Amino acid sequence: MPFQFKRHFQVEEARGLLGALRRDFDSIHASRDRLIECEKSLSRRLVQTGGDIGGDTVRDLLTAMLAIHEGIRDITSRGIQIKDLDRGLVDFPHVREGREVFLCWELEDDDIEFWHEIDSGYAGRERL
């Protein structure tokens, strides 16, 4: 039976990536917060000027957008699936008992302790 994913993680391999994932999500969340502030500032300026906006705030907005994009790309390029960006919820493709499943982790977790079937999602998590 062919697998859906090209890359599969062993539990210890996925655990070894948690520090990098925490840093990635911290960076993504900081950029997201900056993006929100820039959007608010630009919205106020748009109302005040009728459309004449630009400068540092637009540059900061674009920089934040690019940083978010790069952070997401860094995570997904490793073969990790992002399920919820705000929660830092990710799935690692994994082979368990000969079938493809996901190891499940989110930013608030200390360790990878759960897995779930590919079609069951977070609600179907089971302890390793």
For the stretch 25-83, pLDDT in tens is: 999 999 999 999 988 888 887 766 666 666 788 888 899 999 999 999 999 999 999 99
What is the structure's pLDDT at 50?
66
What is the structure's pLDDT at 101?
97
What is the structure's pLDDT at 30?
97
CB 57, CB 49: distance < 8 Å: no
CB 89, CB 106: distance < 8 Å: yes
Name the residue with tokens 């940083």: 67
Among left, alpha and beta (phi > 0; psi -120 to 50; other), residue 127 is: beta
Q: Where are the domains of the chain?
A: 11-127
Strands of the 99-105 sheet, one edge to the other:
81-84, 89-96, 99-105, 114-117, 126-127
* Separation of alpha carbons 41 and 73, rounded Å: 27
Query: Could you tell me the pLDDT band of residue 1, with boundaries at 50, 70 and 90?
Result: low
What is the structure's pLDDT at 42?
83
CB 88, CB 21: distance < 8 Å: yes
